[in-house]
Amino acid sequence: MSRPPLPPFTRATAAQKARMAEDAWNSRDPARVALAYTEDSRWRNRSEVFEGREAIVAFLTRKWEREREYRLIKDLWAFDGNRIAVRFQYEWHDAGGNWFRSYGNEQWEFDEHGLMRRREASINDIAIPEKDRRFHWPAPGARPADVPGLGDSPF
């Protein structure tokens, strides 16, 4: 199975890969998201470490049951060969209606077929009032073309 664009990445193909990942995660479909990873993909997400597509599907299922109305933006940070680094922000609320903005960085490593074989994510959550939300497009669904990325915004 091949998942273009393939490494080695250029700035354009690395940015395309980041946007493809963003769109898949915004679908909130764990099975769809898992197809972008190798069968034995290794993950570190916050303090959880696990391996394999089945574990990815289980993790994402739990995540999106907890993180409701999830909306994500990923921006390319750096790339080299078969590696890409992104920064991201996402907004969500818990079962009690409390809103959060999560900030993070991911490091990705791809195999020759363009599947991600390693993902490491560091993430921090900040409680926000609902009036301070920034991401308002219909969810689940991809960020519309007229909604800008993170740009130079530090927070």
Tens of pLDDT, residue by residue over 87-110, are 999 999 999 999 999 999 999 999
Q: What percent of the chain has pLDDT over 90?
A: 96
Q: Cβ(32)–Cβ(61) under 8 Å? A: no
φ, ψ at 58 (rounded to 5°)? -65, -45
The total number of structural domains that make up the chain: 1
| In the chain, % of residues over pLDDT 70 | 97
In a domain, 30, yes or no: yes
Give φ, ψ of 115 to 5 degrees.
-95, 140
CATH code of the domain containing 48: 3.10.450.50
What does the pLDDT read at residue 155? 66
105 falls within a domain: yes
